[in-house]
């Protein structure tokens, strides 16, 4: 077997899991929608069918105070039958599923929020009410009742969410808990809340029900738990009756990235490894594990007993099945972009996946064999063209894909060169393999013309975008480079001005400010302030980044903060990283000319010269769609336009891939 450790069964005494893979908890945002439970049932069932060992649902509140936001999912008698749809669907596919019980504490996005202490979180506008002693006891009862109802709904167990800075974590760490009663002060008092939850839950549900406790092993905030306290709590949780301990990394308010693309793969498993031997129940490790190779290595090295992956199961429901069948090269890999999952949740939209728009849309975006196989030409092998070509070919169409460059991937080829975005090349690998498997005829270095396309039934134009041409005086000076030229290897001097501070301007600044050091977890930890010796509370120390080897000026004409349009959950990381690197971010500029002396501009009304070696243009794109216009007159309705070629203004890969898939399913 290709991954013997990953596919070794795990005996929990009363139940044996078929492998060591947990699909970790993710809020999908369908729980509150009309018909959402049917969609969730289909979503989880697809992952069970795909062979995952155990699933944990998104967080379900035990009471109203614990809601994520007003009226969000809560466990109560009236919803048991809805949850049963999920458990029945998963069991019908031979899977197992636990319900996560999540009380958001002071992170609750509503005025009913409660916490051990009435202290507002920096990431929430609501000041929580301090829980009274009776309030604490009734909250424990609500956790127990939620677990009992989960059992009634057919779940195989529950996960008690004790990490990420939510209510339980707020009791455990002195950062928030400054109570002087039985629930604060000494570690024993601070731990009483989670211990009672687990102890009373076990009493209620009996022995043959999984209780996973998600333990914050690394708070990554000042005044978090010490390592000794984490171990003490783990032992107490085991004694209280937990079946498995899962690893939690970082509070949501922590200023250390924990799941973004720039976190080295599997980097945080060292902390679970440190816990090994301290308890006798299985330990799950987590964060940035997105390939079977990384998961297998962690298990082989004995760092944990199971691995948790969440987003990788949005990207590919059949992750386990493919790995088991030695077809890991067919896995659609999660690239940790957060764009269609976490960012959607923050925008109050249902989560899906940038590389797999079918995720959480299993009942909507359905692939059925075509009744009329057609010969279809696709022009452009960027994300939109690839998504269309493979979707249409899977349905039985005869698809021919023309690409003028010498490789597929379009804008993703450049993205993969940005520090921390190397995973983007996995999406290209995935499509390359799909092209082979689905017999898509690929023509590289080929610019298709109207005559060549004459005998096709349908033509799909996915020619993408080209950089916006600027009309600044001196724009043709040898100092000036476009972003594709730089990403494809053009030499860049020691001082650089970047015109344009959108997603690509930020990526360019990161690319040019990268130091030669290896991308090790040690380097990442030093940059962001993780104390690998765990000598400090919360393992959080002052960041110690390596400065940029170049002087960089990142410029935009508009006023205000830079990077406003970057993703909600990743924008702060991009901005902080550039600050770490000493990149000069200047808004409210107007450009005058470029000459041997450099870039002449006005900043807030004052004329300046940036005496830089190079000026890199990252000023957005325009559609590359001239071909479409000429094809339209020949093909009429049989020509289609998708992706950046259709609309460059808001070009993003999420839209491009989705448009390709939707057209591919409908053609």
Q: Which residues are catalytic?
A: 166
- If one asks whether residue 651 binds ligand NAP (CB under 6 A), the answer comes out as yes
353 binds ligand SF4 (CB under 6 A): yes
Query: If DSSP codes are grouped into helix, strand and coil, which group holds residue 530?
Result: strand
Least spacing, CB of residue 476 vs ligand NAP, in Å: 15
Half-sphere exposure of 53 (CA within 13 A, CB side): 25
Continuous segment of H or E residues that includes residue 551: strand 551-555
* Pairing of the two strands 495-499 and 614-617: parallel
Under the criterion CB under 6 A, does residue 659 sit at the interface with ligand NAP?
no
Residue 337 binds ligand SF4, judged by CB under 6 A:
yes
Output b/e per residue, 611-621; b: 16+ Cβ within 10 A.
ebebbbbbbbb
Task: Report which secondary-structure segment, H or E, holds 584.
Answer: strand 584-586
Q: Which span sits near ligand SF4 by CB under 6 A: 110-118, 337-345, 570-578, 620-628?
A: 337-345
Instruction: Give the Å distances, CA to CA, from 611 to 495, 555, 614.
Output: 8, 14, 9
The CA distance from 277 to 647, in Å, is 56
Q: Is 509 helix (H, G, I), strand (E, B) or coil?
A: helix
The one segment of 294-302, 331-339, 551-559, 633-641 that binds ligand SF4 by CB under 6 A = 331-339
Asked if 558 is part of the footprint of ligand NAP (rule: CB under 6 A), the reply reads yes
Structure tokens at 627: 């071909």
Closest to ligand NAP by CB, 83 or 421: 421
Site for ligand SF4 (CB under 6 A): how many residues?
A: 14
Q: Which of 89, 304, 314, 562 binds ligand SF4 (CB under 6 A)?
A: 314
Tell me how many degrees the CA angle 321-323-327 measures, rounded to the nearest 5.
100
Given the complex with ligand SF4, which of 25 and 338 has the nearer CB atom?
338
Shortest CA distance to 427 belongs to which of 186, 167, 654, 175?
A: 654
Does 464 help bind ligand NAP (rule: CB under 6 A)?
A: no
Q: Which one of residues 72, 265, 339, 411 is an interface residue with ligand SF4 (CB under 6 A)?
A: 339
Identify what 234 binds: ligand SF4, ligand NAP, none; CB under 5 to 8 Å per kind: none
Which lies closer to ligand SF4 via its Cβ, residue 227 or residue 313? 313
Three-state secondary-structure class, residue 569: coil
Instruction: Please calculate the CA angle 643-646-652 and round it to the nearest 5 degrees.
Output: 40
Q: Under the criterion CB under 6 A, does residue 336 sit at the interface with ligand SF4?
A: yes
* Beta-sheet strands, E only, within 149-201: 157-162
The span of 202-210, 353-361, 394-402, 473-481 binding ligand SF4 (CB under 6 A) equals 353-361
Instruction: Residue 175: name the closest of 224, 215, 129 by CA.
Output: 224
Q: Does residue 315 interact with ligand SF4 by CB under 6 A?
A: yes
By CB under 6 A, residue 475 contacts ligand NAP: no
Number of residues this chain uses to bind ligand NAP (CB under 6 A)? 25
Q: Of 438, 470, 475, 541, which lies in the binding site for ligand NAP, with binding defined by CB under 6 A?
A: 470
Nearer of residues 619 and 667 to ligand NAP, judged by Cβ: 619
The one among 121, 230, 310, 619 contacting ligand NAP by CB under 6 A: 619
d(CA 565, CA 74): 33
Among 173, 171, 142, 143, CA closest to 159: 143
Per-residue x/- mask for ligand NAP, residues 504 to 523, rule CB under 6 A? xxxx----------------
Select from ligand SF4, ligand NAP, none the partner in contact with residue 113, using the beta carbon and a kind-dependent cut-off of 5 to 8 Å.
Answer: none
Whether the CB-CB separation of 634 and 628 falls below 8 Å is answered with: no
Other Cβ atoms within 10 Å of 429 Cβ, number: 16
Least distance in Å: CB of 357 to ligand SF4? 9
Decide if residue 615 touches ligand SF4 (CB under 6 A).
Answer: no
Name beta bridge partners: 603: 589, 606
- Residue 285's H or E segment, with its range, is strand 283-285
Cβ-based nearer residue to ligand SF4, 197 or 384: 384
Instruction: Rule CB under 6 A: say whether 311 interacts with ligand SF4.
Output: yes
Decide if residue 354 touches ligand SF4 (CB under 6 A): yes
62 or 409: CB nearest ligand NAP: 409
Instruction: Give the nearer residue to ligand NAP in terms of CB position, either 331 or 481.
Output: 481
Nearby residues of 401 by Cβ (< 8 Å), 6 or more positions away: 378, 381, 385, 386, 389, 408, 435, 440, 441, 442, 443
State the nearest-atom distance from the C-beta of 335 to ligand SF4, in Å.
Answer: 5
Of the candidates 502, 538, 545, 643, which one interacts with ligand NAP according to CB under 6 A? 502
Question: By the 8 A CB rule, do 119 and 131 touch?
Answer: no
Binding site for ligand SF4 (CB under 6 A): 311, 314-315, 334-341, 353-355
Binding site for ligand NAP (CB under 6 A): 468, 470, 499-507, 556-558, 565-567, 574, 618-621, 650-652
């Amino acid at each position: 077997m290709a991954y013997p450790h990953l596919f070794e069964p795990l005996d929990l005494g009363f139940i044996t899991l078929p492998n060591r893979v947990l699909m970790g908890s993710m809020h999908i945002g369908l729980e509150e929608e009309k018909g959402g439970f049917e969609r969730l049932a289909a979503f989880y069932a697809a992952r069970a069918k795909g062979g995952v060992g155990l699933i944990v649902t998104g967080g379900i509140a035990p009471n109203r105070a614990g809601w994520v936001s007003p009226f969000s999912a809560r466990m109560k008698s009236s919803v048991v039958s809805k949850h049963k749809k999920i458990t029945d669907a998963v069991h019908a596919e031979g899977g197992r599923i636990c319900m996560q019980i999540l009380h958001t504490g002071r992170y609750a996005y509503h005025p009913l929020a409660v916490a051990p202490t009435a202290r507002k979180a920096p990431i929430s506008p609501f000041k929580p009410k301090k829980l009274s002693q009776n309030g604490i006891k009734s909250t424990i009862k609500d956790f127990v009742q939620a677990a009992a109802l989960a059992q009634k709904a057919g779940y195989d167990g529950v996960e008690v969410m004790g990490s990420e800075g939510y209510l339980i974590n707020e009791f455990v760490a002195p950062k928030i808990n400054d109570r002087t009663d039985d629930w604060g002060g000494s570690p024993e008092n601070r731990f009483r809340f989670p211990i009672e939850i687990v102890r009373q839950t076990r009493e209620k549900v009996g022995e043959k029900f999984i209780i996973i406790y998600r333990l914050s092993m690394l708070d990554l905030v000042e005044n978090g738990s010490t390592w000794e306290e984490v171990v003490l709590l783990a032992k107490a949780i085991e004694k209280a009756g937990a079946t498995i301990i899962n690893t939690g990394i970082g509070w949501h308010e922590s200023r250390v990235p924990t799941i973004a693309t720039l976190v080295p793969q599997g980097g945080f498993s060292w902390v679970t490894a440190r816990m090994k031997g301290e308890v006798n129940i299985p330990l799950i490790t987590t964060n940035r594990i997105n390939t079977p190779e990384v998961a297998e290595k962690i298990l082989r090295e004995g760092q944990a007993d199971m691995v948790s992956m969440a987003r990788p199961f949005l990207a590919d429901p059949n992750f386990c099945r493919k790995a088991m069948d030695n077809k890991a090269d067919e896995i659609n890999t999660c690239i940790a972009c957060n764009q269609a999952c976490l960012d959607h949740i923050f925008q109050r939209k249902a989560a899906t996946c940038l590389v797999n728009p079918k995720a959480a849309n299993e009942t909507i975006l359905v692939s059925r064999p075509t009744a009329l196989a057609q010969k279809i030409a696709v022009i452009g092998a960027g994300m939109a063209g690839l998504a269309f070509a493979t979707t249409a070919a899977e349905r039985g169409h005869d698809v021919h894909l023309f690409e003028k460059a010498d490789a597929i991937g379009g804008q993703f080829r450049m993205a993969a060169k940005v520090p921390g975005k190397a995973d983007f090349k996995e999406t290209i690998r995935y499509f390359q393999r799909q092209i082979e498997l689905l017999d898509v005829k690929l023509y590289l270095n080929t610019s298709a013309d109207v005559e060549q396309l004459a005998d096709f039934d349908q033509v799909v134009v996915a020619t993408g975008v080209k950089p916006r041409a600027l009309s600044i005086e001196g724009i043709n000076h040898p100092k000036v480079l476009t972003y594709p030229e730089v990403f494809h290897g053009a030499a860049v001097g020691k001082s650089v001005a970047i015109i344009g501070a959108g997603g690509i301007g930020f990526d360019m600044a990161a690319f040019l400010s990268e130091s030669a050091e290896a991308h090790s977890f040690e380097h990442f930890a030093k940059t962001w302030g993780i104390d690998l010796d765990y000598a400090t509370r919360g393992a959080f120390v002052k960041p110690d980044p390596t400065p940029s080897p170049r002087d960089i000026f990142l410029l935009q004409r508009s006023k205000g903060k830079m990077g406003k349009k970057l993703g909600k959950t990743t924008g702060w990381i991009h901005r902080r990283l550039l600050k770490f690197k000493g990149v000069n971010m200047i808004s409210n500029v107007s450009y005058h000319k470029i000459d041997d002396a450099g870039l002449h501009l006005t900043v807030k009304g004052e004329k300046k010269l940036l005496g830089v070696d190079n000026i890199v243009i990252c000023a957005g794109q325009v559609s590359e769609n001239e071909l479409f216009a000429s094809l339209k007159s020949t093909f009429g309705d049989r020509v289609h336009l998708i992706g950046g070629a259709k609309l460059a203004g808001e070009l993003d890969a999420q839209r491009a891939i989705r448009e390709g898939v939707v057209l591919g399913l409908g053609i």
